[in-house]
Structure 1
Amino acid sequence: MSANSAPAHVRFRDQEWAKLIRFARHDNGALRIGVVSGRRRLGKSHLLRALCEQMGGIYLLAVQEDSRPAAQARVTEAIARARGVPAEALRLGDDWAAILRLLLQPLPTTRHTPPLLVLDEFPYLLRHSPELPGLLQSLYDEARYESEAGRETLHGGVILCGSALSVMDRLLSGQQALRGRATLDLRVPPLNHRAARRFWRIDDLHTAFLVDAVCGGVPGYQVLAEQDSPQSLTEFDAFAVDALLTPGHPLYSRTETEYLLREDPRLDQRAVYYPLLSAMVGGATTPSEIGARIGKERSATAHALTVLEAAGYALLDEDLLKKRSPSYLVPDPMIRFNQAVTVPQTPLCFSRSCKRAAGLQARHACVPLSKA
């Protein structure tokens, strides 16, 4: 395996790996910043952990429940482990600037490679430490100036990763501190239908199409399914019933949809967004049609549609020939399945005696769902 090759356990992500390894290996003598984003369960953390392992970098995963002191203590302990010193020896206190500086110092074992720092689930850190982008901007500008002046300075790469798309996109927009300072802006997409079929190891094309129609190219769903991949239409029925339509199962589509929507802090009133998603899945595509479907004026839905678009759960398609007739659709197959099948059939989902009927309805609903 060449130095730039992806490890064997990083599958179907050659393009993303090439961009990440190029960012990590490049050393222009100053600090570099990268942003990686994408919805949950696509394998972003898997990619970045493998990158840090190969490059000798430091990978830090933020925890949603952590307070500011707890997050700083967690980071300080990680620094101590990486440097082989007791955590008590690092008296950094409530000083993110000092913590970041120490994180970006080369480790004793990686003196000849540029330092690499990955801050995964960065939006969780922003909830209690909103000054972090500004501190990174300050370190970036300082390092750039010192490098151009021919003096030693901080160098290496910092990768900020997160699943809340509206938060991650905003990092590099408008007047935000990091605008114009990121040399990597990588949105990790779902696997395409061909790669997803190989990932699930499904031989039958029709069955692979149905699985893709309800799960999309999300690698994490194979693990959550907790069963062998379906290989026929009959097995798909059982898969849909047991995995997607059974309350309490990790892949129950209603629970998964709730989980996805909770990820973005802007979707704080989900009762407002569920009717919009159902209207779009039901065939309403224009703002006027969506508003009419839920009994509201077009102007009353404009802001909510904009929020859904920023969060990645609504896709706006603007026809160049019809500028005043934008079309919205729901790009996520799991959310489409939930709104079109699970929500209307919730009583059946809770009735074990009706499981087989629910599975048949799911199979027949998948074909139009995949075209939505």
Structure 2
Amino acid sequence: MRKPDEVFDRDHEWRELVRYATTTTPGATLGVVSGRRRQGKTFLLDALVRAAGGFMFTATESSEADALRQYADALTNYLGEPSPLRFAHWDEAVTRTMALAKDHPLPVVIDEFPFLARASPALPSIIQRALDPAGQRSNTQVRLLLCGSALSFMGNLLSGTAPLRGRAGLELVVPTLDYRAAARFWQITDPRTAVLTNAVVGGTPAYRHEFTQDDIPAGLADFDDWVIRAVLNPARPLFREARYLLAEEPDLRDPALYHSVLAAIADGNTRRGGIAGYLGRQSSDLNHPLRILEDVGMVTREEDAFRSNRSAYRIAEPLVVFYHAVMRPVWGDLERAGRAGLVWPRMRSTFLSKVVGPHFESICRQWARWDAGAETFDGFPHRVAAGVVDDPAARTAHEVDVAAFGRDADGREVLLGIGEAKWGDLIDVRHLERLTHIRALLRRRDTVHADQCRLLLFSGAGFTDELRDRAAGDPEVQLIGLDRLYGPA
């Protein structure tokens, strides 16, 4: 099946869905599709169903009886039955569903499956029984796809002792668009505008069409006006979206606490101790909220590049960072229509330091891990992270924005490069000298193999001529600007 033109990117996801939906393996099969909200999972599955003539049902929050009635009505319309179908329980509904495809593969999608399973906890077991080789499975070629945005629920659906454990022939996660794909999706060709826009809306496809009605920054000169009219405008959907993202997660039962944790991280407190200090709590009090935020995909925990027992927490959704750093402190002013133009100028410096700076560092780590060409490293990185390097002689510690690790011919982990990323600073020789000093510290360690470590300088503002002259012809020093970050991989 040809991917519809209206589906942007998602080539890998489309291939996997088509492969699964058309496989001629005898019997029914199960697939699971998950991903954070607003990533286009429903759009993608709807395109698959339309192309293959399959059946799709999107669940809502409702009681079991109401859900069964909605499901029966949708199936009636699909089949063109003269009289409405009615099911007394999900056993009947699943049995009728499995009869949809007798002689050829047919995709059947149940979207927002967590809503159904929470109202009917036995439903996964009922589906498992229908997929059992001794049951209906051998008599049908239904390609069942369960889809949901509740990441913790969808992750547990196939884990441990769950009824559907080991039953799935497809486990597809639909990710957010990376920063390069996001720039193409928003049709932004200027790299600087692309970074600024990505720092606000990230790679979530719905934020362009549904939430801004294709209102795109016309260029760098239009970016501030775009933020005022499309993001800080209380009449636009993006204005309250960050709040709704938390409210839509059923596992977050204390919104005030979780908002406070996210506010601490957005303020630059990425370590557990810093978050606890910001909240005035003990570090041990954060075990549960941090774990829950990780489970729902709102926060990621990244190990320090040089200390395995130390980690940093980062917010996964840029819009949430923007909300907590820029919008939440002045929410009362922003709620009054027409005030955004007065508020934004005084919050813009906060945006650049608390939002764009860390986001640019994240983009640089993504580039080093996935897009850096062969000329960047003497090897292929398998791990890229940020970290802290102690300097005992100076009684201080140095932060490293990018640390790329690979493996040598013997399988030993080696440090391929360390990097510094500055969004608004013109990078000069002093930045190179700082990295050179940090590399010397690392080379003295027995635990880090840094003989082939290169020095990477990332900048959103450019490099001095003196630094360019110093780096010219020296493969150990790599200067990476915006053109290279957004250039061909």
Q: Report the TM-score, using the length of structure 1 for normalisation.
A: 0.90
State the alpha-carbon separation in 2 of the partners of residues 96 and 205 from structure 1.
Answer: 52
Is the CA contact 1:36–1:188 (under 8 Å) kept in the aligned structure 2? yes
Corresponding residue for residue 253 of structure 2: 268
Deviations 1:154-186 (A, max 9, x none): 332111111111111111122111111112111
Question: Which shows bigger deviation, 54-63 or 200-209?
Answer: 200-209
- Give 1:146 shift: 5.8
Partner of residue 217, structure 2: 230
Q: Distance in 2 between matches of 1:352 and 1:156?
A: 52
1:221–1:251: 8 Å Cα contact kept in structure 2? yes
Q: Percent identity?
A: 36
Q: Deviations over 1:319-361 (max 9, x none)?
A: 4752321221111101000011001122331355642343343
Distance 1:154 1:263 in 2: 36
Distance in 2 (alpha carbons) for counterparts of 1:24 and 1:263: 30
Aligned counterpart in structure 2 of residue 35 of structure 1, from 23, 32, 35: 32
Q: Secondary structure at the match of 1:343?
A: helix
Match of 1:364 among 346, 352, 356: 352
Q: What is the rounded CA distance, in whole Å, between the counterparts of 1:225 and 1:343 in structure 2? A: 20
Equivalents in 1 of 2:163, 2:63: separation in Å? 23
User: Residue 135 of structure 1: which of 121, 126, 142 is its match?
Assistant: 126
Q: Which secondary structure does the structure 2 equivalent of 1:324 belong to?
A: coil
Counterpart check, 1:181 vs 2:167: yes
Write out aligned runs for 1:304-319 (5 A). Answer: 304-319=289-304
Say if 2:34 and 2:154, in contact at 8 Å, map to a contact too: yes
Does residue 70 (structure 1) correspond to residue 66 (structure 2)? The answer is yes
Rounded Cα–Cα distance in structure 1 between residues aligned with 2:86 and 2:318: 48
- Which one is further off, 361-370 or 309-318? 361-370
8 Å Cα contact 2:21/2:107 also seen in 1? yes
Residue of structure 2 in register with 1:300 after alignment? 285
Corresponding residue for residue 116 of structure 2: 125
Query: Deviation at 1:27?
Result: 2.7
Compare 277-286 and 16-25 and name the one that shifted more.
Answer: 277-286
**1:13 alignment partner in structure 2:** 10
**Structure having greater relative contact order (Cα 8 Å, sep ≥ 6):** 1
Q: Evaluate the alpha carbon distance shift between residue 320 and residue 352 of structure 1 in structure 2; reply closer, same or farther with a 3 A threshold.
A: closer
CA distance in 2, matches of 1:128, 1:222: 33
Name the CA distance, whole Å, in 1 between partners of 2:342 and 2:358. Answer: 18
Alignment correspondent of 2:230: 243
- Residue of structure 2 aligned with 1:83, choices 59, 79, 82: 79
1:81 to 1:117, Cα distance in 2 relative to 1, 3 A? same
Match in the other structure for 2:378: none
Q: Is the 8 A contact 2:39 2:205 kept in 1?
A: yes
Q: Which has the higher strand share?
A: 2
Residues in 2 aligned to 1:358 and 1:139: alpha-carbon distance in whole angstroms: 58
The residue type equivalent to 1:368 in the other structure is G
> Residues of 1 paired with 2:212 and 2:301: CA distance?
31
Flag structure 1 segments of 5+ consecutive residues without an equivalent: none
For residues 170 and 103 of structure 2, the distance between their equivalents in structure 1, rounded to whole angstroms, comes to 22
More helix by share: 1
User: Residue 328 of structure 1 aligns to a residue in which SS?
Assistant: strand
CA shift in 2, pair 1:337/1:87, >3 Å:
farther
Q: Is the 8 A contact 2:103 2:141 kept in 1?
A: no
Asked whether the 8 Å contact 1:42–1:220 carries over to 2, the reply is yes
| CA drift at 1:28 | 1.4
- Number of matched pairs: 356
Pairing partner for 1:330 from 315, 318, 333: 315
Shift in Å, 1:97: 1.3
Matched, 1:24 2:41: no
Deviation >6 Å, runs of 4+: none
Contact 1:277–1:330 (Cα < 8 Å) also in 2: yes
**Counterparts of 1:174-213 in structure 2 under 5 Å?**
174-213=160-199
Please list the CA deviations of residues 22-48 of structure 1 after superposition, one character each: whole Å capped at 9, or x if unmatched: 111113112211111111111100000
Separation of aligned partners in 2, 1:16 and 1:201: 22
Q: CA–CA distance in 2 between the matches of 1:367 and 1:307?
A: 26
How far, CA to CA, are the matches of 2:16 and 2:70 in structure 1?
A: 29
Deviations 1:10-32 (A, max 9, x none): 11111110111111111311221
Moved more, 289-298 or 359-368: 359-368
Distance 1:202 1:358 in 2: 26
CA-to-partner distance for each residue in 1:277-324, whole Å, 9 max, x for gaps?
A: 111111112222211221111111101100000000110112475232
Secondary structure of the structure 1 residue equivalent to 2:312: strand
Letter in 1 for 2:71: V
Q: Does 1:288 align with 2:273?
A: yes
What is the distance in 1 between the residues matched to 2:7 and 2:266?
33
Whether the 8 Å CA contact 1:34–1:159 is kept in 2: the answer is yes
Instruction: Judge conservation of contact 2:234–2:337 (CA < 8 Å) in 1.
Output: no
Q: Do the aligned partners of residues 320 and 192 (structure 1) sit closer, same or farther apart at CA in structure 2, a change above 3 Å counting?
A: closer
Larger Rg: 2
Give, in whole Å, the separation in 2 of the partners of 1:49 and 1:232: 34
Q: Secondary structure at the match of 2:309?
A: strand
SS at match of 1:345: helix
After superposition, what is the alpha-carbon deviation per residue over 1:44-64, rounded to whole angstroms, capped at 9, x for unaligned? 000000011111110000012
Distance 1:206 1:86, change over 3 A: same
For 2:216 and 2:305, the matched residues in 1 are separated by 41
Any conservation in 1 of the 2:111–2:146 contact (CA below 8 Å)? yes
- Mapped to 1, the partners of 2:81 and 2:336 lie a distance apart of 57
Matches within 5 A, 1:347-362: 347-352=332-337, 354-360=339-345, 361-362=347-348
CA contact (8 A) 1:203 1:231 kept: no
Q: Equivalents in 2 of 1:347, 1:152: separation in Å?
A: 61
CA–CA separation in structure 2 for the residues paired with 1:14 and 1:343:
37
Query: 1:102 matched to which residue of 2?
Result: 96
Change (3 A) 1:234 1:321: closer
Cα distance change, pair 215–156 in 1 and its aligned pair in 2 (3 A) = same
Q: Which amino acid aligns with 1:28?
A: T
